[in-house]
Structure 1
Amino acid sequence: MPENTPDVSVIIGAYDAMPYLVKCLDSVEAQTLGPDRVEIVAVDDGSTDGTGDYLEEFAARSKVSTRVVRQANSGGPGGPRNTGLRLARGRYVFFLDADDYLGEEALARLVAMADRAGTDVVLGKTVGVNRNAAKSMWHRTVERADIYASNVKYTLSAQKLFRRELLVRHGMRFDESLRTGEDALFTLEAYLRGDGVSVVADYVCYYLVGRDDGKQLTKTGGYVPRFDSAKALMELIAAHVPPGERRDQLMLRPFIVTLLPQFGPVVLKQSQEVLRHKLELAAPLMARYWTPGVARRLKTEDRLRLTCVALNKPTELLDVVAYLKEGTPPERVSGRRREYLAYPHFRDPAAGIPDTAYEICGTPAALTRAWLRARRLAGRALRGLRAGRVAPRARRAA
């Protein structure tokens, strides 16, 4: 590489980011890695609040080499990130949201880890400021994490260090057609294509800020984009990982993070028509990717809800969600070498939900048998939906 190649290109996509942008840029300028080893590629994505002007003022006075691009609004964070990627020159790239900021030693520690471990993606400990942030993956620093068994699969935001050569070699870009989840798709692809993932957990590298005005760049409305995101992520996993335990471990992420919230308490407030549409959107995903390996790794209540979705049972789903919202502990029922939680419709012949959906610790063999039966039924349900013959029964939303 040329001598003047920076270690890190910090890519900042900014849309109406004032006044948060001030602290964001100051945090890059304050990095202990040194201004000669960092460059900023800042993309103003059609701001109307002076963001672009401030970026140009900063570029004119900062010791950190800063390039500013002003473009028409792209409608999401993927557009400005892709623009920044095209211009980046560093050995690594780091995507920094304009609302957020870095710990002073963040880039130095992340680069040192990548150089030492030879890994292509490095996660730095993230904490929330006026908002929640994922916590389960920051218990310890790891030079090479298991992307299948560990919790790194639950942090797929773009705010990580990526080896630029990996991105260039595979022509990786953010999918701008997705209204949400484009960062998860990009990051998981890097996990799967790259040579290892590291975790820096002994220092807070990234501060994830909740804006007082609620105008986060990544916020989107509606539920349909969530299903688009789940579909894209599931297809990526299936394309890179053959059927089996490792695929099931990764599939947990889109099932738990993306699909389950769509069938939580929100369905009690939504119309029958919306629930029917959600079940239609979920049907092909459940038929293709819902396996016993995924099911047995879920908590009982989550497995039960997704079983109702797979079997196209809206009335039973509403009953289960309403019961969970009330918070009444279910009765524990002992069977032959198994225990169950007697949530609504447990052993109700009319409902036809298999016992293993209620099992506390389902055995692989039992869940496999139940899955085979559920898959047959789900296939029938999907064919019925396509033919317009299956519709949810009336149910009070309470």
Structure 2
Amino acid sequence: MPYLVECLASVEAQTIDPERIEIITVDDGSTDGTGEYLEKFAARAAMPVTVIRQENSGGPSGPRNVGLGKATGRYVFFLDADDRLGPEALERMVAMADRNGTDVVLGRIEGVNRGAPKSMWGRTLERTDVFSSNIRYTLSAQKLFRRELLTRHGMRFDESLWTGEDALFTMEAYLRADGVSVIADYTCYYLVGRDDGKHVTKSGGYELRFDSARALMHLIAGHLPAGERRDLLMTRPLTVTLLPQFGPRFAKDGEEVRRRKLELAKPLMDAYWTPGIARRLKVEERLRLHLVAEQRPELLVSVAKFLKDKKQPAALLERGGRRLYLAYPHFRDAAAGIPDSVYLAEPREARAYPGYREGGTGTLLRRAARKAGRMLRSAAAATGGRAAVV
């Protein structure tokens, strides 16, 4: 309360037939009148409402699992009490899933007084998957899930996790789904920032973030063998969950906290950090994770301070402008011994710098092949014979 009032009003305002909706509410030990309001709402609502009241469980996983166990519809949608739906959200999402036979539907999310994911809303996708789109960067539970998918695989939220339980659940659904749909042209979900700032995802200590990253990385590894597809998905827990622990805040951490963070990260980096992941990252991300993998706290602190002070690295162009290095701290410092490749910007990052000429080894090889082909054809024409070009 009072966010719940507007949340439930947004469900009542849905354009889909009320007879096609069941509302299952779980009052997880509230002390602000939520339970009483839910009882009154259930008595007057046009759709069936189940009210479950229980002792506080300490997190969102337990209540969601209770609600999921009571659901009977073909689809389930997890709506947080402080958020709200767009009026046509359920109608559009159900129609999308029915039309395409997809198991998960993402409706566009918009933040209200808080940030929201953006990279996956470029265009509506009738059918996609976790490897062909940016949906891996929105792993909140606020999706439409085909209930049969969840039942078949016995999927539930991990009640041992204080944060990141929704990322684990949603990533598993993506990996198991027979197709995912994305609605990008209509805001289905409004992610509301609370005035008191008390979001579960913002609470708890740093060790809980490592618990979340560890669980998600183990899940991905359990579903995918080592290789490009695993590397693609591993970028998400590495950059979104683990990397912030080694950003500007690391410069302010005490020695014991720094030591503990590196200790927690070591088995994850040993198991999952690969050159394939490194190539997918921006230079400053790659540099920090390289130093985490190498367990170099003294170098990592100076990089963290550089970022905390919002300094910009010098850009160094080489090989006729085809290679661009970003000179973050310790670049070509013999004592540090960090390979130049860590500071080498990939084309998608390098394009922002004047003077960069996209090309590199692949382009040079193609040019050499074309030149060799022209020479062979010229030789063939001169001799009246034929020359094979492979």
Report the TM-score range of the alignment, normalised by the length of the smaller protein. Answer: 0.7 to 0.9
1:108 to 77, 91, 95: 91
Please give the per-residue CA displacement for 1:1-33, whole angstroms capped at 9, x wherever unaligned: xxxxxxxxxxxxxxxxx0110111111111111
Q: CA–CA distance in 2 between the matches of 1:243 and 1:156? A: 22
Structure-to-structure mapping, 1:142-221, within 5 angstroms: 142-221=125-204
SS at match of 1:190: helix
Q: CA–CA distance in 2 between the matches of 1:96 and 1:364? A: 48
Structure-to-structure mapping, 1:254-273, within 5 angstroms: 254-273=237-256
Task: Compute the RMSD of aligned alpha carbons.
Answer: 1.5
Q: Which runs of 5+ in 2 are unaligned?
A: 348-358, 362-390
Q: Find the counterpart in structure 2 of residue 333 from structure 1.
A: 316
SS at match of 2:325: strand
Query: Which one-letter code corresponds to 1:20 in the other structure?
Result: Y
1:38 to 18, 21, 26: 21
Aligned: 1:317 with 2:300: yes
TM-score (norm 1): 0.85
Query: Which one-letter code corresponds to 1:360 in the other structure?
Result: A
Q: CA–CA distance in 2 between the matches of 1:23 and 1:174? A: 26
When residues 43 and 198 of structure 1 are mapped into structure 2, their CA distance, relative to the original with a 3 A threshold, is: same
Is this contact kept in 1: 2:111–2:192, CA < 8 A? yes
Query: Which one-letter code corresponds to 1:298 in the other structure?
Result: L
Q: Find the counterpart in structure 2 of residue 360 from structure 1.
A: 345
Deviation at 1:213, TM superposition (A): 1.7
Q: Find the counterpart in structure 1 of residue 215 from structure 2.
A: 232
Q: CA–CA distance in 2 between the matches of 1:211 and 1:327? A: 29
Q: Find the counterpart in structure 2 of residue 386 from structure 1.
A: none
Q: CA–CA distance in 1 between the matches of 2:254 and 2:311? A: 25
What is the identity percentage for the equivalent residue pairs of Structure 1 and Structure 2? Answer: 69
* Runs of 4+ displaced beyond 3 Å: 334-338, 362-365
When residues 48 and 267 of structure 1 are mapped into structure 2, their CA distance, relative to the original with a 3 A threshold, is: same
When residues 56 and 364 of structure 1 are mapped into structure 2, their CA distance, relative to the original with a 3 A threshold, is: farther
When residues 364 and 73 of structure 1 are mapped into structure 2, their CA distance, relative to the original with a 3 A threshold, is: farther
Q: Which runs of 5+ in 1 are unaligned?
A: 1-17, 366-398
Structure-to-structure mapping, 1:61-72, within 5 angstroms: 61-72=44-55
Q: Find the counterpart in structure 1 of residue 376 from structure 2.
A: none
TM-score (norm 2): 0.87
Q: CA–CA distance in 2 between the matches of 1:284 and 1:109? A: 43
Is this contact kept in 2: 1:76–1:218, CA < 8 A? no
SS at match of 2:199: coil
Please give the per-residue CA displacement for 1:342-381, whole angstroms capped at 9, x wherever unaligned: 111112222121111111128999xxxxxxxxxxxxxxxx
Is this contact kept in 1: 2:76–2:147, CA < 8 A? yes
Deviation at 1:322, TM superposition (A): 1.2
Structure-to-structure mapping, 1:29-108, within 5 angstroms: 29-108=12-91
348-357 or 253-262: which moved more? 348-357
